[in-house]
Amino acid sequence: MNLDGFGIFVEDMPTMVKFYREVLGFSIREAEDASNVYLEKDGTLFLLYRRTDFEAMTDHKFHYAKPVNGHFEIALSVENFDAVDKAFREVTAKGATPILAPTTEPWGQRTCYIADPEGNLIEIGSFQA
């Protein structure tokens, strides 16, 4: 098996599409009001599934964590430490929820965390000083 991409189940599709497009710079393959929205970032397929549509398709009801959740993270890399700081300032100015301000970790990575509008964690980091 090959990894094709990954997806998250969303409550408010237009808000989430706008966040990933305008705040994080993902390109969009589908319309904002689609049941499934296919985004692409650096060659990786990123899927947003409307919760209600997925539940109807599978005939199952699922539970979703709120508000900020720690079930997974989306990791984005930038070229160097300064870019981590710059990205954090830019995305939080555009509405991302700050979780962890840029920090240099003992293992040598500069990293920060934000959350999307539905509380999913996003890491922005670099190993290049």
The domains of the chain are located at 5-58, 73-126
Same fold, 5-58 and 73-126: yes
- H or E stretch at 15: helix 13-18
User: Which tens digits make up the pLDDT trace of 53-103?
Assistant: 999 999 999 998 888 988 889 999 999 999 999 999 999 999 999 999 999
CB neighbours of 76 closer than 8 A, spacing ≥ 6? 24, 41, 87, 122, 123, 124, 125
Identify any residues that bridge with 77 across adjacent strands, giving them in sequence order: 125
Q: Are 122 and 96 in contact (CB under 8 A)?
A: yes
CATH of 73-126, one of 3.10.180.10, 3.40.50.300, 3.40.50.720, 3.50.50.60: 3.10.180.10
Residue 1 has pLDDT above 90, yes or no: no
User: Which tens digits make up the pLDDT trace of 27-46?
Assistant: 877 777 788 888 777 888 88
5-58 has which fold? Answer: 2,3-Dihydroxybiphenyl 1,2-Dioxygenase; domain 1 (3.10.180)
